[in-house]
A and B are shown apart, each in its own frame.
Chain A
């Protein structure tokens, strides 16, 4: 067991739950069999063990400064980026011709999870990956050859520059402008962007901002937004007037810069149009599933590191005796012996492994959606679309609870910086804000995904769950949980119908008022399904293996599934009770009532 991740769990999900090696039936993935995937996972762990995890505390303690136009970050970041780049993980899913490795998304996600468990700073190269993928998917050949190779090499940092002071979640209010020049495809960019992750640092030779801006004369709202490549330094090496106004001070992720950028404030800032005019948001949204799953992975990495730190502590720390033992002359027991400590660890394990299994499942669907055909492709696309809000929000929101419990396991030690938990506790909350707050995703799920194609995505999910409910019903020791989940799914169907009726009969405000609560209950049931799926495999395999360590692994899966069904799944009940209520408390609350 490593200090930050379980490679056995990753292999279980990849090979035993998903059979991901089967993806090599698609010509694009022909080289990725089980052995190649295992070797890639081992390489990712080696990179993390050598160049990332040992520096995580130093990253946190480094004071990022912005002096004389240079943003100084911890120098190890350069090695971190280089090792991930040299490993072939930036744009790993791109075609060989574009400099990628044609890697399945499911394997890429597993790698990212490992890197993120080592440190949130591993997000830097994957920001670059997302930006470079935008250029590869929508940019001209000229843009591709000018920018992508050095981004893939980890020499240039990529960013996504969307948010502005007056336009956060509401991108229709975006005001950064682009003015045409005489040169085809080249514009002058003017405006400000805030909270730009990786927006400036001195461990890259150039920063390439994939920037949303409105071409002068373009329609207002989201239909008039275009996408530009805006480098900090132009290709001839001269400064492109992208100035860093400042670096935000944050409660966590200290070395992972969030910059306030000014474009063309005191000179000319060139931007190069990506694809067609006014299609910027469409392009961005085509990459959104990847980015949102990426945020879920970042959260899951954080949960993983905190869980294994608290688990280690629980196995080493003697404290107290069993309640039935009143003899204080007997030795203290390890805290792992106490029921409530086990509860806190089971809670973390259920959130962690439930999140990882869901994220890898979604990534697997992304591969099928991209390379499959016919029904298989369409079905995977629907499931991916529907569950992306859960992939983003469940690890992010439940991660906060998970890491809080990790801290509780350590007690006072968890609050002190001799142990890593306090760092993870400061780092986890931002994931519920990256790529849209949880509110936004609740609205996305209920307002868009549930309704899409007359509920086809939700129907596809019910079919998938139904298959596992049937399978579990036939397995001794698990059938009880199949029945519990069946009841939960029936409730979900009932609630969803109730809400969709509201959508027809009431204002959208009423329908969407408690969308976040719907997302919470929906997520609990989805993760219940994901746990049942894992338990089916574990129950089948536990009797077939001889090794004690393997029996323990499968036993841990079954026991954690039981914990989830007994302690976590029932939390959908109060959430759904609220959704069935006709009271409109939040809508009827006058802002002055909150004073």
Chain B
């Protein structure tokens, strides 16, 4: 079993998000980065579990600059065997998908896994695009994955319930909560990660068809409203009309 896991670098969930003066660029200075939790907790850990039961290898792939190597090292510390870094800033989902598929096409992976979305842009796009470029089946939002022979059985959440899917290898899947339990790297893994290979390859030429014209932060939440105990009608009105919880 040869598995490729796509890992992204995203700002830590506690990071303060800001943009440059004309709101066209994310301000990355001073931001603490982590591996995208959906890639790490679900895709990577399930890939490692499959490797542990079926044998094989787990390769990480990342589209990013040298700054991303700490995130890649973490994936190797958790248990990945090796990694590929496409040496380019991840300009868009399509760009990332193009780069991943360009590498994966010739490498013969049985399974390509990634998180259901990244926690920064929440686009949920890369998986489908990779599958399209690779001409492979794609299962999104998978919560369970088992493999027997050359067939995979998956569960995925759908509106109001779940569905079970069978698909032949190779294919692409995006992993959601439930797929696996988080693994925290131990010191042995951290030490071993230092000697695992990271292959750095140049990006293939690609021109994006769209550009981001501006970003906007969500509006600040309004402060706490204090309602006097004798004014219950106002409390009910606020809960009904503003909070919309009753």
| Chain A interfacial positions (CB closer than 8 Å to B) | 1-2, 7-8, 31, 33, 35-36, 38-40, 42-43, 46-47, 50, 83, 86-89, 92, 101, 103, 316, 318, 331, 545-550
Contacts and interface: CB of A to CB of B under 8 A. Distances in A.
A33 B70 CA distance: 12
A40 B187 contact: yes
The main secondary structure of chain A at its interface with chain B is helix
Contacts of B193: 39
Contacts of A7: 32
A230 B106 CA distance: 61
Interface stretch (B23-31, B152-160, B162-170): B23-31
B16 interface: yes
Given A39-B77, A548-B18, A549-B31, A46 B223 contact: no
A43 B185 contact: yes
A101 B188 contact: yes
Contacts of B190: 36, 39-40, 43
B191 interface: yes
Contacts of B182: 46, 50
Contacts of B32: 7-8
Contacts of A87: 184-187
A547 B31 contact: yes
A210 B30 CA distance: 47
B74 A47 contact: no
Interface in B77-125: 77
Contact of B186 (A2, A43, A50, A545): A43
Nearest to B18: A548
Which 8 pairs between the two chains have the least Cβ-Cβ distance?
A547-B30, A88-B187, A547-B29, A550-B30, A549-B30, A101-B187, A88-B186, A46-B184
A88 B186 CA distance: 6
21 contacts: A2-B14, A7-B32, A8-B32, A31-B191, A35-B73, A39-B70, A39-B77, A42-B34, A46-B184, A50-B182, A50-B184, A87-B184, A88-B188, A92-B187, A316-B224, A545-B29, A546-B30, A547-B31, A548-B18, A549-B30, A549-B31
B240 interface: no
B186 A550 contact: no
Contacts of B223: 318, 331
Contacts of B237: none
B194 interface: yes
Contacts of B29: 545-547, 550
B243 to A, nearest CB: 18
Interface string B2-17: 0000000000001010
Among B27, B77, B184, chain A packs the most CB atoms within 10 A around the CB of: B184
Contacts of A47: 184
Nearest to A87: B186
B74 A39 contact: yes
Sorting the interface of chain B by its residue count into under 10, 10 to 19, 20 to 34 or 35 or more gives 20 to 34
Nearest to B190: A39
Nearest to A103: B187
Nearest to A553: B30
A36 B194 CA distance: 8
Contacts of A318: 223-224
Contacts of B188: 88, 101
A42 B188 CA distance: 15
Contacts of A2: 14
A550 B182 CA distance: 30
Contacts of B34: 42
A39 B185 contact: yes
A549 B29 CA distance: 8
Contacts of B74: 39, 42
A169 to B, nearest CB: 36
A550 B19 CA distance: 15
Contacts of B31: 547, 549
Contact of B27 (A1, A42, A547): A547
Contacts of B184: 43, 46-47, 50, 83, 87
A356 to B, nearest CB: 18
Nearest to A11: B32
Nearest to B70: A35
Given A31-B194, A83-B184, A92-B187, 14 more contacts: A33-B194, A35-B70, A42-B34, A43-B185, A46-B182, A46-B184, A101-B191, A316-B224, A331-B223, A546-B29, A547-B27, A547-B30, A548-B30, A550-B29
Among B18, B182, B194, chain A packs the most CB atoms within 10 A around the CB of: B194
A50 B37 CA distance: 14
Nearest to A34: B70
B46 to A, nearest CB: 18
A545 B70 contact: no
Interface in B181-204: 182, 184-188, 190-191, 193-194
A331 B224 CA distance: 11
A545 B30 contact: yes
Given A1-B14, A36-B191, A547-B27, A86 B186 contact: yes
Contacts of A546: 29-30
Contacts of B185: 39, 43, 87
Contacts of A101: 187-188, 191
Given A547-B30, A549-B31, A38 B186 contact: no
A38 B186 CA distance: 13
A550 B18 CA distance: 13
A316 to B, nearest CB: 8
Interface string B48-81: 0000000000000000000000100110010000
Contacts of B27: 547
B191 to A, nearest CB: 5
Contacts of A103: 187
Contacts of B224: 316, 318
Interface string B217-246: 000000110000000000000000000000
Contacts of B70: 35, 38-39
Nearest to A3: B14
A304 to B, nearest CB: 15
A549 B188 CA distance: 33
Contacts of A40: 187, 190
Nearest to A334: B223
B16 A549 contact: yes
Among B31, B188, B191, chain A packs the most CB atoms within 10 A around the CB of: B191
A39 B70 CA distance: 8
A38 B73 CA distance: 11
A101 B186 CA distance: 10
A331 B225 CA distance: 10
Nearest to B185: A43
Nearest to B78: A43
B19 to A, nearest CB: 12
A549 B14 CA distance: 12
Nearest to A316: B224
Nearest to A549: B30
Interface string B161-180: 00000000000000000000
Contacts of B16: 549
A7 B33 CA distance: 12
A549 B224 CA distance: 26
Contacts of A38: 70
Nearest to A550: B30
Nearest to B188: A88
Nearest to A1: B14
